[in-house]
Amino acid sequence: MPTSLESKLILSAPFKWMGDAKTGFLKILDQRELPQKETHLECRAVKEAAFAIKTLAVRGAPAIGVAAAFGCVLGAQRGKTKEAIEELKASRPTAVNLFWALNRIRKLSNHDPETVLQEARKIEQYEKDNCLAIGRHGLALLKNKSRAMTICNTGALCTGGIGTAVAPFFLAHAEGRPIQVYALETRPLLQGARLTAWELSRAGIDVTLICDGAAAHTIREKKIEIVIAGADRIAANGDSANKVGTYALALAAHYHKVPFYIAAPSSSFDLATPSGDQITIEERSKEEVTRWKNTPAAPDNISVFNPAFDVTPNNLIAGIITEKGLIHPPYKETIAKILK
């Protein structure tokens, strides 16, 4: 049941399992089409779920983990759960939540559709609960702070819950506390412009969209008081991989002495990876940079380097907001202790 706070929020579910375990399918809100139109994909085969993840129809670290878990049900319907796990693992390389969720499915003693669906629903609820807890812990950091900044999209669309980095903003608004959020557009696919600005504005939150390159100027001129970003993978030492541009945002915040926080659930931590140097950074197609849908934005023959993520070093991070509470430096010791 939603809490009184959650009931005040306007959330858009990124996916929903339709029907029973044996004949049902995964329905996905196609985020590539937002905010102009809300269309849905019906994934009835594992390859369709994997393609939806790979092409960013569903995106965001927690969300792709849950979507992949539901995708395994499609494999279980055909008696091919193990094959489904391998196909879904290959869809995106950076977000650790994907591998965490698939590993939970792999460890099941029974891979029949009903058992796999039950586990997928548990994973979905786990992420929803985490979001609410992250929001409450982050809310304590806002105190009298009312001017915040974030990058990319970390709301319901990328989690299935109330979000991670934006969860404190949703809860502050639900409590009637003043909050003004500056959202970076997030090139090249504009997740901040298309998704975050859409989610926050339809919830009634005061949100201002800015270009990525205007972040440092905005921090100084608008007297930003706190910056919160999400994470797709957090190494054992606290180095955090997130949407490309996050590292530059953290540097700008550090220069202006504005606290920069990462918000992510336990499923985003990868204690087997010692530091950010070992995190695989996904590189995507040049067309994402040279074209916007069917409109050319650069010469067709230009060379393009298009990393989807970057790594923010732990010394730029004031704290990591998790469902278990706020993690402070020294991260190597505190992360291991809190997640133990």
Q: How far apart are CA 219 and CA 211, in angstroms?
A: 12
Q: 110 in helix, strand or coil?
A: coil
How do 325-327 and 206-210 pair as beta strands?
unpaired
Dump strand ranges (E) for the chain: 15-18, 25-29, 40-43, 147-150, 180-184, 206-210, 226-229, 233-235, 240-243, 260-263, 269-270, 291-292, 295-296, 309-312, 319-322, 325-327
Half-sphere CA count of 189, side-chain side, radius 13 A: 23
Radius of gyration of the chain (CA): 19
- Cβ-contact 75, 105 below 8 angstroms: no
Catalytic residue among 232, 239, 270, 310: 232
- Cβ-contact 25, 42 below 8 angstroms: yes
Q: 312 in helix, strand or coil?
A: strand
Our answer to whether residue 232 is catalytic in this structure is yes
Residue 242: other Cβ atoms inside 10 A: 29
Structure tokens at 110: 């029974």
- Cβ-contact 100, 65 below 8 angstroms: yes
Catalytic residue positions? 232
